[in-house]
Chain A
């Protein structure tokens, strides 16, 4: 049962082969027994969960259900869910109870999804290994000594271990796609503005985007149908006609032009990753796709650009955590400045403090033009590279991450090494494009490899179609870590 996709579970519910309450109990039980070894889920509220499941069952009984009604879901702890503790992986919000629902949570609730709990994450979504969380690192179900990637590492690990059929994530520089790749699941970062950011704790506002994480591309499409949509409370949310993201799933991909940027197959990619990605592309060719070589000449600048812009925005976004109105406040202090300093020194971890300092520096008088303005200029060049590439192809493919999951602690002393994890994902956020990671094989040690698909603006339905067609012809996505299969 826990292996089933959302689409299959939905069938079971519709046929009354199981109830939503039974599903909720099943996954809560798996979380209870399996989560202690993973630390993927950090907040449970069984009573609320079962009440939501019972409500979903009533909707199903009344014939008022949709494809997501009664399906359990985990939410990344960056989304506010009313009445639930919402920590963002930080001591700063260790005891913060959300007084309202994020738009995405509201919409998934309205679709009848049952909130199972909140997932661990890198503190304020700053990290690529889920080791910066105040609640401790998350482990990768494929190998417990390895990281699950980050920052949506808890969501990824939980879905990979089948603690839930699906989860929400957010992606600022690869935080959905990279952990999806490292844990062998699917994760989609939509076009910037497709899902509202209201109620999603801001890291870097111009890059943050919510997206679905699940076992199959089809499930991502079902979830995105509920998550997407205009929200007047987010000025960057896009006012567009609602679309059905499942509408193109069955379309044949014959004639699809796949762009392969040479920059994606450069030095630093593990051979096993290149091999799996090449094999996947060969499979696409067999399905009738054409290969086009494209170039993204400024992609190499995406990491430096990102590490100017994201910390700049973060340094300002995180200023509200000052100990005055909510969240952590130092127990003792001598005056206002001392209160600020102690509160923020205690409440934020090392990586968050580092990025706040970088961001403060690049926005400072005399440095702003050299860093922030220049980075914005390069950001436009990166977007222009993609625009040029999409003149010649329908979808860009390459590895999601240069490596498979690495060992816990192996990169924590070297932030730059850690930042390189996102070398293939960051440019997509800078350009605001949709990107998708799907499982495409394993390395020799049995760790998953992710294939990244990047589309033009608003091409989510096509990306999901391209991913779904691959999944019809492969079984990487249904393979799960054996120690969690019992």
Chain B
């Protein structure tokens, strides 16, 4: 039987506000345990929550970016359950009416475009952390994370395999960073994914019973967890069994998912509107203000990069992978024209990206500035240096040896375009490579390239390759 996989993702995006969603305590990562838990986060008697407007702003940004409905009135509810790292005994979360409803995200699966519909995105607070080690049989509680603002973004079950889920996860990850609403740091838990996975026989319209794999904090784990879970479910069903609706955890060490709790042990969270908070009301004037401060979105930028700069869809996609990279490109391309755009794109996608990767730094920390890269490309375009020599110049710029022109001059890298000098070089090469000259003349075309290589070598790479080609061919074919 052929099986179809159905996946929906719930992503907890930690909003990059300075303070918590309902208190003034700092959200900075890595402080001493409980150093960033104020009276409100600890849930002392008598304290009350006050909504952080910055968290709302970031939620609305996401909503506008995905073309969602921003509810004019949304409600904070209490989700009641007891756990030591949940200080109030309830989590404040939007339940019946979330701030963001609907919307969609376009993804590319390989070369294939696809649109994933969103169900909703709602604001809520994070819980603290239980630390089960280092306390000699006791549990330590760290409330630094308690009250950190989260936006839970829930997709429709629109994805049909791990590859699509990963593509969606990556697109969403890029988008929240693009919008500057989340730092995207997956190791620190700023972007955590839950995958709802089910399978059904191909052609069947109803959904199979789903399992929810919780707390996946890398795209690799997302992919492997889904792959494992799909195999497991198909195996169970093929053996005539049934899938139990349950929450599962992915264990990366054993590369498998394990049941955590079944639907039957699910809590009754006793949701009700939080009487300490007023309904969140969003009016048109506020929306207009947020809208006017929105950056150009990746899709708009992609469109413009192909139409304005004549870039390929592939290059436009690459360059809009992050806002910083797109900004870098635009600064580097400013004032250039025609083929130069493609060159800039190639340099960013090639040498620059390789260097950034090697050193593990962001493009904003690049040791070659966009302006410097533009100068380099200009020297290639005007024929001062060849593309090959430009690699050396780039490396020199990266190691801080100075500006493009300084480096070219100091190292004497200027391309040799003087035909007298080139004639002499070519003559020398012809004279000292008799057998290859003979091969060429007997029809072996390959020998020509070898001779060009010899001339380039003799010029230490500085000869203008096109000119070398022309002169060599002329001399070999006509003897003058």
The answer to whether A binds B is: yes
Contact B39 A100 (CB under 8 A): yes
Q: How far is the CA of A204 from the CA of B271 in the complex (A)?
A: 16
Q: For chain B residues 46-99, which have a beta carbon within 8 Å of chain A?
A: 46-51, 78, 80, 82, 84, 87-90
Contact A364 B270 (CB under 8 A): yes
Pick from A202, A232, A316, A340 the residue with the most CB of B within 10 Å.
Answer: A316
Q: How far is the CA of A312 from the CA of B275 in the complex (A)?
A: 11
Nearest chain B residue, comparing its CB with the CB of A364: B268
Can you list 16 contacts pairing A with B, beta carbon distance less than 8 Å?
A93-B45, A96-B45, A100-B39, A198-B48, A202-B45, A234-B50, A235-B50, A235-B278, A315-B270, A316-B78, A316-B80, A316-B89, A319-B89, A320-B45, A363-B270, A372-B272
Contact A201 B84 (CB under 8 A): no
Residue numbers of B with Cβ under 8 A of A are 39, 42-51, 78, 80, 82, 84, 87-90, 141, 268, 270-272, 275-278
B43 contacts across to A, CB distance below 8 A? 320, 325
Contact A340 B45 (CB under 8 A): no
Contact B82 A322 (CB under 8 A): yes
A86 and B45 in contact, given A233-B50, A316-B78 (Cβ under 8 angstroms): yes
Contact B270 A360 (CB under 8 A): yes
Instruction: Among B46, B51, B270, B271, point to the contact of A198 (Cβ < 8 A).
Output: B46
A102 and B46 in contact, given A322-B89, A360-B270, A364-B270 (Cβ under 8 angstroms): yes
Q: How far is the CA of A235 from the CA of B272 in the complex (A)?
A: 17
Minimum Cβ distance to chain B for residue A133 (Å): 16
A236 and B270 in contact, given A320-B88, A326-B44 (Cβ under 8 angstroms): no
Counted as pairs of residues, one from A and one from B, with CB atoms less than 8 Å apart, the total is 95
B272 contacts across to A, CB distance below 8 A? 312-313, 316, 363, 368, 372
A197 and B90 in contact, given A316-B80, A365-B268 (Cβ under 8 angstroms): no
A100 contacts across to B, CB distance below 8 A? 39, 44
For residue A110, CB closer than 8 A to chain B, the reply is: no
Q: How far is the CA of A320 from the CA of B90 in the complex (A)?
A: 8
For residue A409, CB closer than 8 A to chain B, the reply is: no
Interface of A is mostly: loop
A204 contacts across to B, CB distance below 8 A? 275
Minimum Cβ distance to chain A for residue B274 (Å): 8
Contact B278 A336 (CB under 8 A): no
Contact A80 B45 (CB under 8 A): yes
- What are the interface flags for A293-320 relative to B under an 8 Å C-beta threshold, 1 for contact and 0 otherwise? 0000000000000000000110110111
A232 contacts across to B, CB distance below 8 A? 50
Q: How far is the CA of A399 from the CA of B270 in the complex (A)?
A: 37
8 shortest interchain CB distances as A-B pairs: A319-B89, A363-B270, A206-B275, A205-B275, A199-B46, A320-B43, A201-B45, A365-B268
Q: How far is the CA of A472 from the CA of B425 in the complex (A)?
A: 120
Instruction: Among A88, A234, A365, point to the contact of B48 (Cβ < 8 A).
Output: A234
Minimum Cβ distance to chain B for residue A371 (Å): 11
A316 and B270 in contact, given A198-B46, A235-B276 (Cβ under 8 angstroms): yes
Pick from B46, B88, B271 the residue with the most CB of A within 10 Å.
Answer: B46
Instruction: Among B42, B46, B78, point to the contact of A325 (Cβ < 8 A).
Output: B42
Q: How far is the CA of A202 from the CA of B89 in the complex (A)?
A: 14
Nearest chain B residue, comparing its CB with the CB of A237: B48
B50 contacts across to A, CB distance below 8 A? 232-235
Q: How far is the CA of A315 from the CA of B268 in the complex (A)?
A: 14
5 more contacts with CB within 8 A, not counting A96-B45, A319-B80, are A199-B47, A202-B46, A202-B276, A205-B276, A363-B80
For residue A324, CB closer than 8 A to chain B, the reply is: yes
A336 and B78 in contact, given A236-B278, A319-B90 (Cβ under 8 angstroms): no
Nearest chain B residue, comparing its CB with the CB of A376: B273
Minimum Cβ distance to chain A for residue B432 (Å): 86
Q: How far is the CA of A88 from the CA of B270 in the complex (A)?
A: 25
For residue A99, CB closer than 8 A to chain B, the reply is: yes
Q: For chain A residues 202-222, which have a beta carbon within 8 Å of chain B?
A: 202, 204-206
